[in-house]
Amino acid sequence: MPVILYLTESFGIGHSMSRMIQLIRASAVPPHVMHTASRGALSVPPAEMIEILVHLALHNKVFGQTASITLAGWDESACRGVVADPQTSKEVLEYFVAPSNLRPALLPALLENPSVSQAGLAQIAETGHGEVLDMFLQNPRARQSPAIMSALSSNPRLEARHAAALKLDSPQTPDAPAAAEPKEDDAAADEAVQAFMAEHAAEVVATPEKPFQPVTGLDELPSSAASEPAPTPSVPAMPVTTAGSAAAAGPAKAPVRHATKHAPPAPSDGRESALQKIHRLDVKARIQLAIKGNKEERSILIRDGTKIVALAVLDSSKITDAEVEQFSTQKNVLEAVLRAIPMKRRFAKQYPILRNLVANPRVPIDVSLGLMKHLLINDLKNLSANKEVSETVRKLAVRMFKQKKESAKQ
């Protein structure tokens, strides 16, 4: 109430929301009023307060983070009423439909609101998973939208049940990835390959020639072995062995070695055909394919044990944010790949990618600690209870969660 009284006496605006938002947009109110607004403590209706918070979160460098945290914990029923209203401002709707700010509980209301753009919904369809995809497939508006259905079909997290609902034979068909990607001019693609080769010439020359070797990570180890510093002999996912080590292993190892992924796959489907193709390529050819290839080939080459090949995937002009978001969750890629992702400005701007990296136990601890400052309060709380990450990360998450919680109360 003191804030409203101050505004009334100083600016003569009473309880007018239009004047209030105009003054806030023009930074014409004192800092303590902006601070109060960023904590959601103005005496205005919830819908009006949400509009102010969204503006601060998007445009105010000083109070934006506080406003974002306040919005993340705002009453769900109040938010649902706002996003369901066709008269809600475009800025507010775009904020809540952004993948980094989406609350699954609000998605049905967003889907039914005709003021929410199909482009924004398609972005969620391309990156969502689980219950989010279920909501899209159960919504008549979404099912009647070619843009949303196309985004769903290209989602790397699509499950068999979702594919069946989309009337696809499988989540990934041989032609689907290529059809979903824009065609790139051959000359431009060749220039991209040449630029990468020139930039990494010394590393390419120093890289020993070896065939494709998929990385084994925590995803493929039994839970009891997930904390082991290196794979045991019974986990043969790194099948390049010396003659001495093979001899030491004895004849009993031969059947296991034959069953590894290095055995040339039979060309019975699209994915095996891609693997067979990749197995025949040398390092330079795999680098070229990583930059010029399709989505399916990138999903294979990102796991290449040769670092320069895996890193080349991230330099592809065709790669999508949804793909990198999926890569950021994987525990069977090189640490160098996970370290390189946040080094690229395009990916560092994507909150889901940063959140996934911090929660990925494969990510080097110094990278995780550096990214934690970007996490919202709810994700810090979840991280503090994540037993897969290191104790150092969990302890820092607890401390940062408490600090942000106290800051939001002030």
Tell whether the model's pLDDT for residue 91 goes beyond 50: yes
Q: Could you tell me the two tokens for 21?
A: 């938002």
In angstroms, the CA 332 to CA 36 distance is 46
Question: Can you say whether the dihedral through the CA atoms of 286, 287, 293, 299 is positive or negative?
Answer: positive
| pLDDT at residue 179 greater than cutoff 60 | no
Candidates 179, 198, 180, 201; CA nearest to 125 is 180
Instruction: Write the DSSP symbol of residue 105.
Output: G
Report the candidate in 315, 323, 320, 276 with the shortest Cα–Cα distance to residue 299.
323
Residue 84 structure tokens: 């369901």
Query: Are 213 and 240 in contact, with CB atoms under 8 Å apart?
Result: yes
Q: Which of 129-133, 239-243, 304-308, 322-326 has the lowest mean pLDDT?
A: 239-243
DSSP 301-366: HTTBSSHHHHHHHTT-TT--HHHHHHHTT-SSS-HHHHHHGGGSHHHHT-HHHHHHHHH-TTS-HH
Q: In whole angstroms, how far apart are CA 54 and each of 46, 73, 395, 398?
A: 12, 13, 31, 26
CA angle, 92 as apex, 89 and 98 as ends, to 5°? Answer: 135
At 207, the amino acid letter reads: T
Neighbours of 91 (CB within 10 A): 12
Q: Is 214 helix (H, G, I), strand (E, B) or coil?
A: strand
Global pTM value: 0.49
Structure confidence by residue, pLDDT tens digits, 263-285: 444 444 444 578 888 989 999 99
- What is the C-alpha R_g of the chain? 25
pLDDT value at residue 272: 53
Q: Which of 53-57, 86-90, 196-200, 403-407 is the least confident region? A: 403-407
For residue 313, pLDDT over 80 is answered with: yes
Judge contact between 113 and 84, C-beta under 8 A: yes
Give the mean model confidence (pLDDT) for residues 115-122. 86
- Model confidence pLDDT, tens digit, residues 338-394: 999 999 988 988 888 999 999 999 999 999 999 998 888 888 988 999 999 999 999
Phi/psi for 214 (5° steps) reads: -65, 140
Which helix or strand (DSSP H or E) is residue 111 part of? helix 107-112
Separation of alpha carbons 410 and 408, rounded Å:
6
Which has the minimum average pLDDT: 242-246, 313-317, 333-337?
242-246
Side chain identity, residue 305:
G
Summarised one tens digit per residue, pLDDT across range 228-251 is 343 333 334 444 444 444 434 444
* Angle CA 366–369–374, to nearest 5: 135
Can you give the pLDDT at residue 166?
74
pLDDT above 60 (res 226): no
96 or 118, greater pLDDT: 96
- One-letter identity of residue 68: S
Under the banding of pLDDT at 50, 70 and 90, the label for residue 322 is confident
Which has the minimum average pLDDT: 193-207, 210-224, 285-299?
A: 210-224
Assess contact for 256 and 236: CB atoms under 8 A.
yes
3-state DSSP assignment of residue 256:
helix
DSSP state of 182: P
Residue 247, number of CB atoms within 10 A of its CB: 11
The confidence band for 167, taking pLDDT boundaries of 50, 70 and 90, is: low
Structure tokens belonging to residue 37: 């607004």
pLDDT bracket for residue 410 (50, 70, 90): low
Q: What is the pLDDT, as a whole number, of residue 290?
A: 92
**Residue spans per domain, the chain:** 1-74, 97-171, 181-219+261-319, 320-410
- Measured in whole angstroms, the distance separating CA 332 from the mean position of its chain's CA atoms is 16
Does residue 174 carry a pLDDT above 60? no
